[in-house]
Structure 1
Amino acid sequence: MSGQLSHPEPIESEPRADRPARRRLLADILAILATSLVVGVVAGFVWERIWTPPTGAAFQGKWILDGDGLPKDFSSTGIYVLVAVVAGLLVGTVTSLAFDHDEVVTLAAIVVGSLVATAVMWWVGTTLGPPDPAVLAKTADDFEPIVGDLGVSGKGAFCALPFGAVLSAAAVFFFKPPRRGPGPR
Structure 2
Amino acid sequence: MPSELKRPVLQVVAVVVGCAVLGALCGLGWWLWWRPAPRGIVFEGHPFFLPDEEFRSTGTYVAIAVPVGLLLGGLGCWRLRHRPLFGVLALLAGAVAGGAVMLLTGWLLGPESALVLARNAEDGAVAHAALRVQPGVAWFAMPVATALGCLGVLLCVEPHAHAPREMADERS
| TM-score normalised by the chain length of structure 1 | 0.79
Contact in 2 for aligned 1:28/1:99 (Cα 8 Å): no
Is 2:12 the partner of 1:29?
A: yes
Which digits, 9 at most, give the CA deviation of each residue in 1:49-82, with x for residues without a partner?
A: 11143211233332233xxx44211111111111
Q: CA deviation at 1:135?
A: 0.9
User: Aligned to 2:48, which of 57, 64, 83?
Assistant: 64
Q: Aligned pair count?
A: 164
Task: Structure 2: give runs of 5+ residues left out of the alignment.
Answer: none
Contact in 1 for aligned 2:81/2:162 (Cα 8 Å): no
Structure with more of its chain in helix, by fraction: 2
Contact in 1 for aligned 2:82/2:163 (Cα 8 Å): no
User: Aligned to 1:85, which of 66, 85, 90?
Assistant: 66
Matching residue's letter, 2:39: T
| TM-score normalised by the chain length of structure 2 | 0.84
Q: In structure 2, what is the equivalent of residue 55 of structure 1?
A: 39
Task: Structure 1: give runs of 5+ residues left out of the alignment.
Answer: 1-13
Q: In structure 2, what is the equivalent of residue 99 of structure 1?
A: 80
Q: In structure 1, what is the equivalent of residue 21 of structure 2?
A: 38
Matching residue's letter, 1:49: L
Alpha-carbon RMSD: 2.0
Distance 1:55 1:70, change over 3 A: farther
Is 2:93 the partner of 1:109?
A: no
Matching residue's letter, 2:100: A
Three-state SS of the structure 2 residue aligned to 1:169 is helix
Which digits, 9 at most, give the CA deviation of each residue in 1:60-111, with x for residues without a partner?
A: 332233xxx4421111111111111012112212322223331101111111
Distance 1:101 1:26, change over 3 A: farther
Which digits, 9 at most, give the CA deviation of each residue in 1:108-157, with x for residues without a partner?
A: 11111111111111111111111111111122233221211111123111
C-alpha separation in 2, matches of 1:100 and 1:32: 14
Three-state SS of the structure 1 residue aligned to 2:41 is strand
